[in-house]
Amino acid sequence: MQDIGYESHNSILILGTNSIVLGSYFFTLLVFIILIPMKYFCKGKCCTKKLYNKIYPGLFFNNILTILFEAYLEFLIAGYMNLKQPLNTYVGEILGSVVAWVGLILCLVVLPVFSIIFIRINKDKFEKEGFNDKWDPFYKGETKYKTKLERAFKLVFIIRRIVFLSIAFSKIVQIYQIILMQALQLVFIIYYAGTRPLINRRIMNLSIINEFLV
């Protein structure tokens, strides 16, 4: 499991287009920071204010949350492999190390913190205007949010993938890896079947069946 099929340890190469998407987010963030002082000097109808108002809703925090959830495993794998054999000879290799650290911090610190905050949000706030602009990636109209266990779906998603990769990259005997994977699967099935966090009953039942078959 050392290289798991990847030909490079550079996080940028491993992430592929995901690194471009992440870079575009931080570029947009830079533009937003530049716009903050500029909008105060604009009077009347100003394109700077319009651009500021257009960027803000998705930037905090919809866009970055969507990126992390969509490519969570890729960011963890890229970060682990890059830091396991760091290369700092060329600019691209140094940049790869930076991307690896940023990706791991976002996945292991920022995203879990936001997931815990989401769990603690009062359910009445879900109906307020602008709530979806920030928190939509946590449920996207697909998962329930009435109880804290239902809102914990994404946190379980995160924990499961962290434990999965920890087992996969561990150096223990393979039979023990399989046993631990099965135990992880069982814990997730218990949560899945007990909480039934998905709104669509058909998809929910298919997901449970899929978990048993896997």
Q: What is the pLDDT of residues 38-76, one digit of tens each?
A: 777 776 556 777 777 778 777 878 888 888 888 999 999
Query: Where residue 101 falls among pLDDT bands split at 50, 70, 90?
Result: very high
Q: Which residue has the tokens 């991307």?
A: 99
Q: Show me where the domains of the chain are located.
A: 1-138, 155-214
Q: What per-residue confidence (pLDDT) applies to 2?
A: 52
Distance CA 209, CA 214 (A): 9
Average pLDDT over the chain, rounded to whole? 84
pLDDT over threshold 90, residue 19: no
| Residue 7 pLDDT greater than 50, yes or no | yes
pLDDT tier at 5 (50, 70, 90 boundaries)? low
Q: What pLDDT, in 10s, does the model give residues 161-209? A: 999 988 888 888 889 888 998 898 889 989 988 888 888 888 888 888 8
Mean pLDDT throughout 19-34?
88
Portion of the chain with pLDDT greater than 90, in percent: 13
**Rounded-to-integer distance, Cα 195 and Cα 181, Å:** 21
- Percent of the chain residues past pLDDT 70, beyond the cut: 93
Closest-CA residue to 205 (of 196, 116, 213): 196
| Structure-block tokens of residue 192 | 């899945």
pLDDT at residue 117 is higher than 60: yes
pLDDT at 96: 86
Confidence at 1, pLDDT banded by 50, 70, 90: very low
**pTM, rounded to two decimals:** 0.80
User: What does DSSP assign to residue 165?
Assistant: H
Q: d(Cα 186, Cα 211) in Å, to the nearest integer?
A: 9
Q: Which of 1, 4, 14 is nearest to 82 (CA)?
A: 14
Query: How do residues 148-161 score in pLDDT, each as one tens digit?
Result: 898 899 999 999 99
